[in-house]
Amino acid sequence: MIINKVCDTVLIDRTLGACFNPNQNSDSESKPSPSMLHPTHQARSRESLERLLVATEALLARGRTLEDLKVAEIAAEAGLSVGAFYARFKNKASLLPMLQTRYGEQVRELAPVYFAPERWAGRDLPGRVRLFVRLALRLYLRHRGLLRALAIDWRSWAPERIQATHSSRADFHQQLTGVFLPAADEVRHDDPERAVLAALLFFGATCRDVLLFSRPDHPHPVHLSEAELADQLARAFHAYLTTPAP
């Protein structure tokens, strides 16, 4: 498989890591800087901050983009004034690091459950693939609007910023590949771990394009229900891992 190792990591982080990486937000790049976020100390201010974040994600979930959202809309959705928004954020762009951090905290809470050994024990490769696809799709669909906004933001990241986040994601990649490697004897590739990384890359890229950036004007659209999409993705994932090189 002619896939550069660094390229693997970058692409998986930007396609799949967005939805399933409990360490996605642990690096300093995802924390708001003092110039972006005004300090909040009182419980009331923290509550208002949370309301603004919840309101923004709710609007994004309705198909809006951060670019076309107005601060007044976010404030109204949160039941707050525009002044309350600017008391906590410099601008709309400064919402993204806080939204990313908040999402990362939510995923970190799920990680022990998702990656618990007993959840995967006794499963053959098809069973592991089906379970992984179901869990990953659940996160993509639940946070589709937010993940779309974050993916757009990540496209503007400089290469050195991307590289700086790799070390904090080593555990994530180990956890993901660890889900499939107990069934490595069923993988028909010389390097099962590399094959799993490639399969994760393909899976993440498909989810990103189908779920986050699907276009209704595609000349040959394929309309799949959630169940059909999960079935087709699991088939493709498993087929890649178990098909020998031509």
Can you read off the two tokens belonging to residue 221? 């659209």
How many helices (H) and strands (E) the chain has is answered by 13, 0
The answer to whether the CB of 32 falls within 8 A of the CB of 177 is: no
Rounded-to-5 percentages of helix, strand, coil across the chain: 70, 0, 30
Q: What is the CATH number of the domain that holds 187?
A: 1.10.357
- Residue 157 confidence (pLDDT): 77
Q: Considering the domain boundaries, does residue 42 fall inside one?
A: no
Q: Considering the domain boundaries, does residue 172 fall inside one?
A: yes
What gap in Å lies between CA 148 and CA 8, rounded to an integer? 21
What gap in Å lies between CA 221 and CA 241, rounded to an integer? 27
Q: What is the DSSP letter of 237?
A: H
β-bridge partners, 37: 89
What is the identity of the amino acid at 172?
Answer: F
What gap in Å lies between CA 153 and CA 166, rounded to an integer? 17
Domain that holds residue 218: 5-30+110-242
Q: What is the DSSP letter of 37?
A: B
Q: Considering the domain boundaries, does residue 103 fall inside one?
A: no
Q: Considering the domain boundaries, does residue 154 fall inside one?
A: yes
Q: Considering the domain boundaries, does residue 54 fall inside one?
A: no
The pTM score is: 0.76
Q: Considering the domain boundaries, does residue 58 fall inside one?
A: no
pLDDT 10s per residue in the chain (246 long)? Answer: 333 433 344 444 444 555 555 444 444 334 444 445 555 456 778 889 999 999 999 999 998 989 899 999 999 999 999 999 999 999 998 899 899 888 888 888 888 888 899 999 999 999 999 999 999 999 899 999 999 998 888 888 778 767 766 665 667 778 888 999 999 999 999 999 999 999 999 999 999 888 888 765 666 667 888 899 999 999 999 999 999 988
End-to-end Cα, the chain, rounded Å: 12
Domains: count for the chain: 1
Q: Considering the domain boundaries, does residue 66 fall inside one?
A: no
Q: Considering the domain boundaries, does residue 140 fall inside one?
A: yes
